Amino acid sequence: MNDLLFELPLPEFFDFGVCLEYLNRSPLECLYRMDQEGVTRYFNLDNQPLLIRLTVPGENRMHVTLLHGDIPDPGAAEWLARYIREWFDLDRDLAPFYHLAQADPLLAPLAEQHRGLRIVGIPDLFEALCWAILGQQVNLAFAYRLKQQLTAAYGGSLEWEGDVYYAFPGPEVFADVQLEELCALQLSRSKARTVLDVAALIASGGLSREALLALPSPDAAEQRLLQIRGIGPWTSQYVRMRCLDDTTAFPVGDVGLQNAVKFLTGMDRKPTPAELLKLAEPWRGWEAYATFYLWRALY
């Protein structure tokens, strides 16, 4: 089966190849498979396993092809289209960011080199929170390994043409999971506890992406996240950036951001949070995009 489900119009300043380079940054990524032409990902919609492939054969249309499964209803196709638009931030006008970056000595070369790169989002709040929690105070490779182990243990999977595709587990899966089970996957006790707390909160309806987006401001959403034990400023800023579509998010405590600025400016030490805030004054409104492009200087 190779049925074209639908096409998505692509905005100005979108380069699928550059976004694929970002997606391909770790061989340990377990939630999609990459090649030079596109990305293949498994979804489970209403208990229907779907294997989807995204390609951009022309200049301004993304093709969404169904490799395996059946779309259960038109609502599922609408959900999938919305998810993909949010995954690649397709509804955002990047012209103001590029105008700003062009005048900035730090961002101008990155914006030119990676023109068309969009913030690759994590539209699912539980997945975004888990990814941020797993990444707390560890290197990127180990965070990927933790995600791989958590997904293999509790996520859904589909075998197709000799490859296994995984979907990140939903929060309801963790209702009866014990702390020790997650610790056996190499999660620290504090991370395991936070994952279980977040899972219970989201599964019960006490926390949702929709409710966070309905709050008066991104700062209000952050304050809600900070009420959760184990969620600190870095985690909440990261979720604002990757899940809540907040271009003003600025994770000043992020080691990767600090290392990128140190490398690009030739500093003999990592910048302090106060120095980063000062540096970011010309980026106002686009701090998240500046961060995303600065990260690209590291790989």
Active site residue 35: no
> Dihedral through CA 193, CA 196, CA 199, CA 200, nearest 10?
-100
CA angle 285, 290, 294 (to 5 degrees): 165
DSSP H helical ranges for the chain: 16-23, 74-87, 95-102, 107-113, 125-134, 140-154, 179-183, 189-203, 209-214, 218-226, 233-242, 255-265, 273-279, 287-295
- CA pair distance 175, 142, nearest whole angstrom: 25
Which residue is it, tokens 């004054």? 281
Residues with Cβ < 8 Å from 29, sequence gap 6 or more?
23, 144
Q: Measured between alpha carbons, how far is 162 from 176 in angstroms, rounded to an integer?
A: 32
CA distance 259 to 88: 25
User: Phi-psi region for residue 120, left (φ > 0), alpha (ψ -120 to 50) or beta?
Assistant: beta
How far apart CA 261 and CA 240 sit, in angstroms, is 21
Name every residue whose Cβ is closer than 8 Å to that of residue 108 and which is 6 or more positions away in sequence: 101, 102
Instruction: Give the largest Cα separation in the chain, rounded.
Output: 57
Residue 253 CA to residue 231 CA, distance in Å, equals 13
Q: DSSP assignment, residue 250?
A: -
Q: Which of 124, 245, 254, 268 is catalytic?
A: 254
Structure-token pair, residue 70: 């059946």
Q: Catalytic residues, which ones? A: 254
